[in-house]
A and B are shown apart, each in its own frame.
Chain A
């Protein structure tokens, strides 16, 4: 199993600013995944972060808006840049084990 700690758990931010979300895993993992969950919706994959290489972004998500760092095998950050109210969502990081995925508790972001 894997235990994932996400910080912050929630934040209220002004539009035009940026927020960096941290994800710490208690074991070394190759891939880390970042998801967005808009209010009342399902999870949407933002990007896959592989240590030592550029993150791979899904359609509709770009590096300038959601830069990701993956400095080692237990840590990753997602930055939400130049925020607008439409970025208000829950952001979750995830890692994969042999037969299941594990998720952080999520970061609830409100942009005002």
Chain B
């Protein structure tokens, strides 16, 4: 599984756009990039997944450059409730029967 590197922590004010970048230099051809969100005292929750270019859903956007060696999770107009740890994972298509391997994640703190 490709190793990922992301900032340990980030701070943002409410209403701002937050971009969290993840490096995955050794990503394999058939690897997907998936982001999970974890609130305190809860299990991680799927946010978004992509393979290349840009993916957008109701929660976030995921930008993946052509070389796929990095990706950026974009959270538009964050609120206090977006305070959480965000994990970038690289691996097969979805989780399937392969367990997820979590890196250290990025602790996002949203300030009023």
What is the interface of chain A, defined by CB distance below 8 A to chain B? 4, 30-31, 33, 35, 42-45, 48, 92, 94, 96-106, 108
Contact = CB atoms under 8 A, between A and B. Distances in A.
B49 A33 contact: no
Given A42-B105, A48-B99, A94-B100, 16 more contacts: A33-B99, A33-B100, A42-B87, A42-B103, A98-B94, A98-B96, A99-B49, A99-B95, A100-B46, A101-B44, A101-B95, A101-B100, A102-B46, A103-B42, A103-B43, A105-B42
Q: Which of B43, B94, B95, B104 has the most CB of A within 10 A?
A: B43
Interface string B57-92: 000000000000000000000000000000100000
Binding site of A, secondary structure by majority: helix, strand, loop or mixed? strand
A96 B34 CA distance: 13
B98 interface: yes
Interface of B: 34, 36, 41-46, 49, 87, 93-105
A41 to B, nearest CB: 8
B20 to A, nearest CB: 15
B106 to A, nearest CB: 11
A20 to B, nearest CB: 19
Contact of A106 (B42, B49, B102, B104): B42
